[in-house]
A and B are shown apart, each in its own frame.
Chain A
């Protein structure tokens, strides 16, 4: 029997999700033995033409990482969807838009004007900007169109499963691979990670008081945080209560607060909004002045709340 075909492809990505696949180490070689990897641009030389030549549904599984913010990424995402029976959105960028999704707070022209005109090192006397079509030496050269905003994968194609994280940790990659290869997948649309919040498994839980009550918000570099005590109890913003578990506390373990790369917990659509309600519950402020004073200390609300999830948030729904 033919080996199932698998594609691993990156769109608007940084390469970290591909590195995490390599981080399954020897297991990767075993997997490579039982599947037929037909596309993995970062690692193998199969070109898009091969993909275009395939039948629809010929690929058993496409693992897609990265968000979509240009025309080529949209084209490849749609091509992979057509050719694949299952599509997994792999990593925070594919699931929610990821950190580069913060670019939705700015505009294409703002980005272009800085990058190609105003940055102090730019030397551009001819006022050049990258063009979808330009001429050089009498020949036409083309570039993909840079879109006005960043999209998570499910805004462009139908996604079957989600594996969050920045990047997803290797052990979850292995669970996901086993589930696919053994045909033990949960319902379509599921997130292949634990269902509850990071707080549930956090080692600092024991130190959490019954009622957290903070009168100010401190920034991590201004204090020497106690590595054994809940960050929120130390008045340090930590997105643990509103973030799906599964990362193994990679940041908390090195004494840095959670920034939400696993996205919202099961059943919650918008992690940022959930965290706002969590904060409201623990801020100790009664009068309007007090409330304003404390809340003003959260100096970058959108950056804390939506670091990884802005394009998928309810803030962006009407865009």
Chain B
């Protein structure tokens, strides 16, 4: 029959998953399965809980991107209670939200992905980590990154309690005011963020775009996937993390759909396979067509590159300039080049930082009017935000006592699950040829996965070491043909 390669566990991303790669008789990759091995059941055990507790429980879905869950929950409550948050509350929430986007996006870039470019995709694994990066580009940068992350998380802590588990937010508002004293240090933090995001984009330009080899990798077919794209935009079709309408464009860039998040059930289907616990989202009206791309695909992607593909521009000026530059270089919109997710991520971080500045300077930020108490309990509430990793939808239904009776969640990384499998497969097919398995293959395949920054991306913090990986290649009788060790 055929050979088989197992990578288990996948590391430096959502913790519990594995990849199975099947080879044919010639040693060519014939199929790849990315399997998610975990499930917890939030949609069921939240039933019976008072809905105002859900913004405190939902962040436990993910301690790396808890702010989006907290925010989607709060917005679902606004919707359920038919209440518009006060202007000051909206500013405070968005300050928390943008601070999160900055620290999460930057952490992914520096800790998770920059080693592949600063040191090189096939560099010695012992060096290919953040300490290797710091050694190559200087100690200054690591310290600045830690500082920016710390300061952004101080903002989140101040507004919403613990940064890894923010619990703040109430229907119609927030729970604490921002004082003029607070504004001072928050402004400083915002300024620091803008400067560091600009620096990061400059670093990306120098290290990746001005390196012919890396640029050709970014533009290569191995890391390209023709799919639809989904993201939230405002009325001018600009990227908006906090609110807007959902927009889908097809692989050629034509608008396929534009809808309010309440209609998500009409557009999004979740397919079930017996080999993974994650549900595979796809465009419902097209119907599941399997794991494929191109004209017949029903697959769409979310996250930074998808959001920029869907939008006509960014919300803020410096980020918008970078948006135009990126599409100029990539020479197509939508851009299907998966590695460009890293670029788009930095542009989004810059938008979030600029927006933080705008909010920190807004006179209304310190208003004491932080709660709209005109609550009218309805039956259904849907809250949608753009999490760092993609579109996030919380849908709650409640009884007359305000207890949850039904919960449906569409979580960012789910939308990318099927595309990730395809991306990994394409990279594996490109870099495994014949029966020889090169050392660099492992990382090149992981790079296909890593660009999406799947759920746990930002907790990763590549410390010195070895990245030992054992790959056992067995024949159909299970006898070990070769064991390839990455030391």
- A positions within 8 Å CB-CB of B: 10, 12-20, 22-23, 25-26, 28, 32, 37, 40-50, 69-70, 72, 98-100, 102-103, 105-106, 110-111, 114-116, 119-124, 126, 128-131, 134, 136-139, 141, 143-144, 146, 166-167, 169, 219-222, 224-225, 227, 247, 250-251, 253-256, 259, 261, 299-300, 302-303, 307
Q: Once the chains are docked, how many angstroms separate the CA of A299 from the CA of B455?
A: 33
CB < 8 Å neighbour of B64 from A15, A114, A255, A259: A15
A19 lies within 8 A of B459 (CB): yes
A250 lies within 8 A of B162 (CB): yes
| Interface: B444 (CB within 8 A) | no
Shortest B412–chain A CB gap in Å is 14
CB < 8 Å neighbour of A103 from B20, B44, B270, B460: B44
Q: Once the chains are docked, how many angstroms separate the CA of A99 from the CA of B55?
A: 13
Within 8 A of A (CB), among B453-481: 455-456, 458-470
B16 lies within 8 A of A72 (CB): yes
| Interface: B265 (CB within 8 A) | yes
| Interface: B43 (CB within 8 A) | yes
Q: Which of B167-175, B193-201, B250-258 contacts A (4 or more CB under 8 A)?
A: B167-175
- B positions within 8 Å CB-CB of A: 1-2, 4, 8-9, 11-12, 15-16, 20, 22, 30-31, 33, 35, 37-50, 52-53, 56-57, 59-64, 66, 77, 125, 143, 146, 150, 153, 157-165, 167-168, 170-172, 175-176, 264-265, 268-277, 279, 281-282, 284, 287-288, 371, 373, 375, 401-403, 408, 410, 455-456, 458-470
Specify which chain B residues have a CB less than 8 angstroms from the CB of A72 in the assembled complex: 16, 37
A100 lies within 8 A of B45 (CB): yes
Given contacts A42-B15, A42-B460, A102-B45, contact A121 B64 (CB under 8 A): no
Q: Once the chains are docked, how many angstroms separate the CA of A77 from the CA of B38?
A: 15
Shortest B37–chain A CB gap in Å is 5
In the A-B complex, the 4 residue pairs with the smallest Cβ-Cβ separation, listed nearest first, are: A16-B63, A45-B467, A16-B164, A134-B274
A255 lies within 8 A of B1 (CB): no
Specify which chain B residues have a CB less than 8 angstroms from the CB of A121 in the assembled complex: 264-265, 268-270, 281, 284, 408, 410
Chain A to chain B contacts (Cβ below 8 Å), 16 pairs:
A15-B63, A18-B459, A22-B459, A41-B11, A44-B462, A46-B468, A47-B469, A105-B48, A128-B273, A130-B273, A141-B275, A221-B172, A254-B167, A256-B56, A256-B168, A303-B53
Specify which chain A residues have a CB less than 8 angstroms from the CB of B47 in the assembled complex: 106
Shortest B481–chain A CB gap in Å is 16
Residue of B with least CB distance to A261: B165
Given contacts A18-B459, A45-B462, could you give 10 more A-B pairs where the C-beta distance is less than 8 Å? A16-B164, A18-B63, A20-B164, A43-B12, A44-B12, A105-B48, A106-B44, A121-B410, A129-B272, A303-B48
Given contacts A70-B37, A111-B41, A256-B161, contact A45 B63 (CB under 8 A): no
Residue of B with least CB distance to A9: B15
Q: Once the chains are docked, how many angstroms separate the CA of A46 from the CA of B270?
A: 33
Specify which chain A residues have a CB less than 8 angstroms from the CB of B468 in the assembled complex: 45-47, 49-50
Specify which chain B residues have a CB less than 8 angstroms from the CB of A111 in the assembled complex: 39, 41, 43-44
Q: Once the chains are docked, how many angstroms separate the CA of A138 from the CA of B12?
A: 30
B15 lies within 8 A of A10 (CB): yes
Of A22, A169, A225, A247, the most chain B CB neighbours within 10 A belong to: A22
A98 lies within 8 A of B60 (CB): yes
B274 lies within 8 A of A131 (CB): yes
Shortest B281–chain A CB gap in Å is 8
A221 lies within 8 A of B375 (CB): yes
Q: Once the chains are docked, how many angstroms separate the CA of A120 from the CA of B52?
A: 23
Shortest B442–chain A CB gap in Å is 9
Q: Once the chains are docked, how many angstroms separate the CA of A119 from the CA of B458?
A: 29
Shortest B174–chain A CB gap in Å is 8
B41 lies within 8 A of A103 (CB): yes
B64 lies within 8 A of A115 (CB): no
Given contacts A14-B60, A250-B157, contact A123 B146 (CB under 8 A): no
B274 lies within 8 A of A139 (CB): no
